[in-house]
Amino acid sequence: MSYFDEDVNLSKIYRYLDKLYNTEQEKIQQISVEHTRKLLGGRIGLVFYDVTTLYFESDYGDGLRAAGFSKDGKHSQPQVVLGLLVSAGGYPLSYSLFNGSQYEGYTMIPVVEDFVKRFTLEDFVVVADSGLMNKTNVELLESGGYQYIIGGRIKNERNEIKSWALSLEKQDNCFYEYTKANGSRLIVGYSSGRAKKDACNREKGIKRLEKAYRTGTITKEGINKRGYNKFLELQETIKVEINQEKIKEDARWDGLKGYITNTTLPAKQVYEQYRGLWVVERAYRVTKGTLEMRPMFHFTSRRIEAHVCICFVAYKVYKEFERILKVNGINLSVDKVLAIAKNHYNTQRKDAAKRQYIH
């Protein structure tokens, strides 16, 4: 392959990937943590965690690559599971890769424990969404002495708590607390914007069900409790109907959101810190989109790890570039600057004697 008419030996690139895997990954993450600590005034107080999947252009898996639940909708292709830790402000701290079949709920504790073991950090709060909320994770966070804010699943709570949540006055920016048996708090808030979104999403889901019902694509075997299928019921073993009572019951929860925490932070602050999870979601959007992290074409574990490491570095540079633009009052996004740079052409001629380019 070539770059600006210079031949680049592909085997050298692969050898560097191996070196990156063997010796540089730890150093890179250490630099990122220390740089982030400096940017945040010497303390990393919040650590956001989320998971995504990265698929491969391949029909079979091996090693790290395996079939699993794909967040990209590529269920027929092998993938790996990526867990990412990000600070307030969206600066990447550390990452871990898992086999593509790994359930995301089992990734958080190993990543957090490994992070604490490798880096000397002051007390911090772990923030994660409800997809990572399960009894085991909460117990392990508690026993490990970690502070946490995790998205709660109010509908999965016992009847006493569900009745309490449904009895709350629904007002924007009002938050209510329920102290649980283990001493943690369930914070419940209401948002009229969320209520509209919940209602809209349910309406779209019901329309899809009605269409499937009319076209006969819903079968007895297809009835389950996942997604909006929870509104279906089987009548007399042969007839499928949409249960209107279940729809009405579901609408009672519109706009309500729960957060579980063992911190002593005020309820409003718990909510605000949880909202910071968007920085991880944005990190995944940028790395998958602008930085083209996936699809991947490597097949050995060490080169898959090295590929992700390069993307981690690229996102760190992206965030630093974004910060510098803001500090200097330049009202352009990184993507816009990159687009301008790609459309900027230089005329070059090569001085053969000096083996260099003259612009």
Pair (309, 229) in one structural domain:
no
1 plus 114 within the same structural domain: yes
Q: Are residues 15 and 63 in the same domain?
A: yes
The predicted-structure confidence for 4-17, as pLDDT tens digits, reads as follows 566 778 888 888 88
* CA pseudo-torsion sign 115, 117, 123, 127: positive
| Over residues 278-286, mean pLDDT | 92
As for how many domains the chain has, the answer is: 2
User: How confident is the model at residue 206, as a pLDDT?
Assistant: 86
Residue 158 belongs to a domain: no
Q: Is 218 left (phi over 0), alpha (psi -120 to 50) or beta?
A: beta
Same domain, 200 and 245: yes
DSSP helix/strand/coil, 85: strand
Q: Give the model's pLDDT for residue 142.
A: 92
- Asked whether residue 182 is domain-assigned, the answer is no
Residues 25 and 76 in one domain: yes
Q: Which range among 79-88, 131-140, 345-354 shows the weakest confidence by mean pLDDT?
A: 345-354
What is the model's pTM? 0.85
Mean pLDDT computed over every residue of the chain: 87
| pLDDT for the residue 223 | 56
| pLDDT tens, position by position, 284-304 | 999 988 888 988 888 888 999
Do 242 and 282 lie in a common domain?
no
Question: What value does the CA radius of gyration of the chain take, rounded to a whole number of Å?
Answer: 24
> What does the pLDDT look like over 201-221, one tens digit per residue?
999 988 888 787 777 666 555
pLDDT at 57: 84
Q: How confident is the model at residue 116 (pLDDT cuts 50, 70, 90)?
A: very high
Note the pLDDT of residue 239.
60
Same domain, 245 and 282: no
- pLDDT of 46 reads 95
Domain-located, residue 214: yes
The span from the CA of 26 to the CA of 305, in Å, is 12
Instruction: Give the Cα separation of 315 and 323 in Å (integer).
Output: 12
Residue 154 domain-assigned?
no
Residue 49 lies in a domain: yes
- Predicted local distance difference test score (pLDDT) of residue 224: 54
Q: Which domain holds residue 14?
A: 1-129+277-359
Q: Report if residue 52 sits inside a domain.
A: yes
Q: Is the pLDDT of residue 228 over 80?
A: no
pLDDT, residue 175, reads: 96
Reply yes or no on whether the pLDDT at 168 is more than 90. yes
Is 314 inside any structural domain? yes
78/100 Cα distance (integer angstroms) = 7
237 pLDDT more than 60: no
Q: Is 342 helix (H, G, I), strand (E, B) or coil?
A: helix
Q: What is the pLDDT of residue 299?
A: 84
Residue 226 confidence (pLDDT) = 59
In sequence order, what DSSP letters do the residues of 162-196 get, joined into one string?
A: HHHHHHS---TT-EEEEE-TTS-EEEEEE-HHHHH
User: What is the pLDDT, as a whole number, of residue 343?
Assistant: 79
Displacement of CA 79 from its chain's centroid (Å): 15
Same domain, 32 and 64: yes
pLDDT, one tens digit per residue, over 174-193 is 999 999 988 999 999 999 99
DSSP 8-state code for residue 301: H
Same domain, 103 and 13: yes
Report pLDDT for 122: 74
Q: Which residues are bridge partners to 46 per DSSP?
A: 125
Domain match, 23 and 98 both: yes
One domain, residues 243 and 328? no
Is the pLDDT reported for residue 231 higher than 90?
A: no
Shared domain check, 123 and 31? yes
| DSSP output for 106-152 | GTHHHHHHHHHHHS-----EEEE-GGG--HHHHHHHHHTT-EEEEEE
98-107, 116-125, 238-247 — most confident range:
98-107
pLDDT above 90 coverage of the chain, percent? 62
pLDDT at 266: 96
Whether the per-residue pLDDT at 102 is higher than 70: the answer is yes
Token pair for 161:
């708590």
CB atoms within 10 A of CB 48: 26
pLDDT digit string (tens) for 311-322?
A: 999 999 999 999
